Structure 1
Amino acid sequence: MGIIDKLNKDFESRVRLGIMSVLMVNDWIDFTEMKTLLNSTDGNLASHATALEKAKYIEIKKEFVGKKPKTSYRVTNSGRQAFTNHLNQLEHLLKN
């Protein structure tokens, strides 16, 4: 198995890398702020977030604030560990 095979395919997308990077340094972040930070479309952000949720890397909370729906995200413990491992493998790849 080569070094590149140890990289996590779930984080290959630019949007998924962005989502995970933002969530590693924030507790909860809402959809609108995440969309702005990543310069993403609604559908693109939602589909990548759903994929990360299915992999149990992030948690998605949907609630109403007043009468407005609000979607928020946070990284799970397993997501934090998986992303940290991914970054460590990238660093290892760069050093070799």
Structure 2
Amino acid sequence: MKHPAAGLDDLVHQRARLGILAIVSDVDAAEFIYIRDALELTSGNLSAHLRVLSEAEIVRVRKDPVLAGRNAKTWVSITGRGRELLEKEILALKELVRQVEGTLG
């Protein structure tokens, strides 16, 4: 029987990516700056993680058009595939916690 840790998905499990998915799973879309600040990431680091998640079709990234005197806002939303992978990851984490709790004090 495989260990619960074997069920963790490297694509999703990385701390920043898991945080991104947790944030966007609870809303229609989250603004780039909000995600960056909430996870204490740099803009470049967040962009790199979003690129990986977007290429894997786990999130969608869209930019609002630039309005006069304002910067474009970037919005991130989770896809159906992303929601499925996040749910699978949470189940694997719960199983891992259950197993480890049984071995601790």
Q: Considering the TM-score relative to the shorter chain, is it more than 0.5?
A: yes
Structure 1 position 41 matched with structure 2 position 42 = yes
Distance in 2 between residues matched to 1:83 and 1:41, nearest whole Å: 23
- Match 1:73 to one of 64, 71, 76: 76
Instruction: Give, in whole Å, the separation in 2 of the partners of 1:18 and 1:71.
Output: 17
Q: How many pairs were matched up? A: 96
SS at match of 1:60: strand
Larger relative strand fraction: 1
Contact 2:32 2:75 in 1 (8 A): yes
| Runs of 4+ more than 4 Å apart | none
TM-score (normalizing by structure 2): 0.84
- Are the equivalent residues in 1 in contact too, given 2:13–2:89 (CA < 8 A)? no
What is the CA–CA distance in structure 2 between the aligned matches of 1:77 and 1:47, rounded to whole Å?
21
Larger Rg: 2
Within a 5 Å distance, the mapping from 1:11-30 to structure 2 comes to 11-30=12-31
Instruction: Specify every segment of 5 or more residues in structure 2 that has no aligned partner in the other structure, as ranges.
Output: 100-105
SS in 2 for 1:72: strand
| TM-score normalised according to structure 1 size | 0.91
Please give the per-residue CA displacement for 1:46-73, whole angstroms capped at 9, x wherever unaligned: 0001101111110001222414222110
**2:20–2:35 Cα contact (<8 Å) kept:** yes
Q: Percent same amino acid at aligned positions?
A: 26
Structure 1 vs Structure 2 CA RMSD: 1.2
